[in-house]
Amino acid sequence: MNVSIAPLATRPEPDIGAEGRSGRVRRFYKAYGLTISSEVALPELQPAMPAEPDIVIAVGPIDFPRPAAEGGTAFRFEPTRQYLSWQAVGTFLISDASRIDVDPEPDIDDPLLAFPLLGPVLALLLHQRGLLILHASATAVGGQSVIFMGDKGAGKSTTAGAMIRAGHLLLTDDVVALDLSNSSRPLILPGFPQLKLATDATDAIRIEQAEVRPQVHPQIEKAQHRLCEGFSGGAVPAARTYVLERGERAAIAPLPGAAALPAIIKFSYVTRFGRQALVGDRASTHLSQCAQLAAGIGVRRLEVPDGLERIDEAVALVERDLATGAQAR
């Protein structure tokens, strides 16, 4: 069994490390099995002792044109450097799959920087490191893990929250990183102990072991739930991939092979940026990874009943589906 429960910080993280060139304190964190040294405060992540970092996050100027339109974005992808700029937040430069430079807009504080930094920016860096990245949520159930994919509003985080309330462990929310180096045993790497839930889901599910963090911007609707327990600290073999849809009753049905691969491609994180993000041979590598996952564990359609009061019906069905699969093996 590969599941372990990592000890989580229950008090504000200490300032660890020396000042960087920006004059900011460098802090050390763990996420996705990597050590991160960051000049941006990221209390969403688990603190770590100073060590040789796999990823360095530094604050400083970036030579890249800002988007002109209000709320606009600008991206540029090169083989070893990727630029991402949000007019209302700042500009980010990923280089050599190991460094993220951050150039904030004036008066933007760290909690707002963290939203793109721990979402699309980190997702693209992990993609550059050879992992398959899905826009999804994942939970650990015993020695197995399940992935919840779906369109916006399908209930990925909500279903993961209901799984946690039922006693299972969060692996990651929003950014799922899969290590496919062992073709017969895909692993989901643990992200960090946070779940983002809409107000109605927060009221309906009520995860007791979570601390709700203050809202960082009026336009960010989902609340950040920092888990005090219920987080998996170890990588877990992937057993099921579900595409969530709304329905009248909880139901699971396998997607045919011809539909499984397109579903994984659709919900892979890099496709949000289009073909431009797949520079050089990365397009063929990405397709091969998606095909490997589709062939290895397949994709199932999970119908979640309308109405949050019935979310536990979907949880019970997932538990039975996993138990059936374990018996079949």
Q: Report the half-sphere exposure of 136 (CA within 13 A, side-chain side).
A: 30
pLDDT tens sequence across 149-175 = 999 889 999 999 999 999 999 999 999
- Across the strands, what pairs with 226? 194, 211
For 109-127, the pLDDT digits (tens) are 999 999 999 999 999 999 9
Give the total residue count for the chain. Answer: 329
Task: List, as one string, the DSSP characters of 91-142.
Answer: EEEEETTTEEEEEEPTT--HHHHHHHIIIIIHHHHHHHTT-EEEEEEEEEET
Domains by residue range for the chain, with CATH: 27-128 (no CATH), 132-328 (3.40.50)
Apex 205 CA angle, 324 and 118, nearest 5: 90
Supply the pLDDT for residue 4.
39
Tell me what the mean pLDDT of segment 128-144 comes to: 96
- Residue 22 clears pLDDT 70, i.e. is over it: no
- Position 5 confidence tier, pLDDT thresholds 50, 70, 90: very low
Write the CA distances from 140 to 67, 81, 149, 172, 294, integer angstroms. 40, 34, 15, 10, 19
* pLDDT-based confidence at residue 10 (cuts at 50, 70, 90): very low
Q: Which residue has the higher pLDDT, 16 or 224?
A: 224
67-94 pLDDT, tens per residue?
988 889 999 999 999 999 999 899 999 9
Neighbours of 292 (CB within 10 A): 18
- Helix spans in the chain (H): 110-116, 122-128, 156-165, 199-205, 257-266, 282-297, 311-328
Tokens read off for 315: 């949880």
| Greater pLDDT, 280 or 318 | 318
Q: Contact, 247 vs 219, CB < 8 A?
A: no
